[in-house]
Amino acid sequence: MHDVGMDMNKEKYQRIALVVEFDGRNFHGWQKQDNARSVQGCLNDALATLEGHPVVTAAAGRTDAGVHAEALLTHADVSLARWQRSPRAYLHGCNSKLPDEIRVVGVRAVGADFHARFHCHGRAYRYQIWNRNTASALQRWRHWWMPRKINIELMQQAATYCLGEHDFSALRGAGCQAAHAEKNIRLLEVTQYEHCISIEVAANAFLYHMVRNLVGNLVEVGAGKRTPDDFALLLASGDRSLGAATAPARGLYFTNAFYEGFCSRELIGVQNERF
């Protein structure tokens, strides 16, 4: 079934993938809401203006209010004739209708049965921490400011306990609707360049608030409030109440979505992504 509420016999459609970049600070997350500004709502409206009828998009994942994205993959059904005339219409055309905080940065045709969420076999995020004794005037909405000195070597040691398939109930946010807490983290790296600490994480799927809860606990290790072994015991306990507070949304970025044969960052010209 197509996402648009149209008689599919009247006009032929092409399903396309659109890679979306956005600054999440002025949005109530990805998902369209009746009484709040959302990224999906703005993208649906831009596509509807181009198509001349309602269009509904679907994304690889939902982001919370304040979370950013560099390469969130979405899909939509659009006019086959317009797509064949000019695929760039769905790049530059959409961008001319979108607010400055949202940009379509890549497009490609996909099969009629492709689904951005259900066909996604992996997702990646980056979390950024500003580790300096003074906050940044330039990076205020891009990082979590952490004035206390952070030992990233301790964070790196703790991160190794997360690699592979585990029950991540200890990092599961309240209200999570996932059927189970077993996820497979395939990449988790903690690096630092000058004042910026970056935590890169990729997994087959994530629980609600899992990345932000992971970051909150790794920061406690880096700050010396618990040891890497304490972190391992926390994971084994499966008890979220024993963990650290959830890291703020503003430091989190959706960076990649993985599919059979391609990933979202490849559609914007970034190659050699690991997963």
The per-residue pLDDT of the chain, averaged, comes to: 92
CB-CB neighbours of 121 under 10 Å: 13
**% of the chain with per-residue pLDDT over 90:** 86
**% of the chain with per-residue pLDDT over 70:** 94
**Taking the model in full, what pTM does it have?**
0.92
pLDDT value of residue 271: 65
pLDDT at 7 > cutoff 70: no
* 5 vs 80, residue with greater confidence: 80
Burial pattern 184-200, b for ≥16 Cβ within 10 A else e, equals ebbebebeeeebbbbbb
Q: Give residue 5's pLDDT band: very low, low, confident or very high (50, 70, 90).
A: very low
Among this protein's residues, is 64 annotated catalytic?
A: yes
- Residue 59 in contact with residue 117, Cβ under 8 Å? yes
- Residue 97 in contact with residue 49, Cβ under 8 Å? yes
For the chain, give every domain's residue range.
13-109, 122-263
pLDDT digits (tens, 9 = 90+) for 65-82: 999 999 999 999 999 999
- From CA 96, how far away is CA 210, in angstroms rounded? 35
Helix axes 210-222, 228-237, angle to 10 degrees: 150
Six-digit token pair at 40?
């999906």
Average pLDDT over residues 148-157: 97
Q: Give residue 11's pLDDT band: very low, low, confident or very high (50, 70, 90).
A: low
Greatest mean pLDDT range, 6-10, 30-34, 126-130: 126-130
**What's the CATH fold of domain 13-109?**
Alpha-Beta Plaits (3.30.70)
Q: Provide the CATH number for the domain formed by 122-263 in this structure.
A: 3.30.70.660
pLDDT digits (tens, 9 = 90+) for 86-112: 988 899 999 999 999 999 999 999 999
CB-CB neighbours of 12 under 10 Å: 11
Query: Poorest-confidence range of 62-66, 106-110, 152-156, 267-271?
Result: 267-271
pLDDT value of residue 4: 44
pLDDT digits (tens, 9 = 90+) for 173-231: 988 888 899 999 999 999 999 999 999 999 999 999 999 999 999 999 999 999 999 99
- From CA 61, how far away is CA 106, in angstroms rounded? 17
Instruction: Select which of 64, 77, 100, 113 is catalytic.
Output: 64
Helix axes 152-159, 228-237, angle to 10 degrees: 30
Six-digit token pair at 132?
């300096």
